Amino acid sequence: GESVGLHLPTLSVQEGDNSIINCAYSNSASDYFIWYKQESGKGPQFIIDIRSNMDKRQGQRVTVLLNKTVKHLSLQIAATQPGDSAVYFCAENINNAGNMLTFGGGTRLMVKP
């Protein structure tokens, strides 16, 4: 399959531990943020989104935190599983334009059994 993120920052965690992936975004005017997961050979897959009027949003095993003061976004994955191994990207909307997105550089998550 495709090799995604050969030289990306890597986070290695033990199965069952919690993972925290961080992202700094660029545009203080962005009002919509999304986390994507990309497995080898596949396109990005939506995980969770958050709007700028919120600072926290929870999904199933995932939580996104938004700190607009320092333009920082984080993704927390609870009880990390081997199937969570992938490259994770944060994205922000371009010029407040809906789903036209600017992606960050990505972080590779490796889960050790």
Partner 1 sequence: ETGVTQSPTHLIKTRGQQVTLRCSSQSGHNTVSWYQQALGQGPQFIFQYYREEENGRGNFPPRFSGLQFPNYSSELNVNALELDDSALYLCASSLGTGEYEAFFGQGTRLTVV
Q: What contacts 26, CB < 8 A, 6 or more positions away?
A: 71, 92, 102
Site string for partner 1, 16-45 (x = CB under 8 A): ----------------x---x----xxxxx
Contact call for residue 106 and partner 1 (CB under 8 A): yes
**55 Cα distance to chain centroid:** 15
* Residue from 14, 17, 46, 67 binding partner 1 (CB under 8 A): 46
Smallest gap from Cβ 104 to partner 1, in A, equals: 6
Binding site for partner 1 (CB under 8 A): 2-8, 32, 36, 41-46, 49, 51, 89, 91, 93-94, 97-106
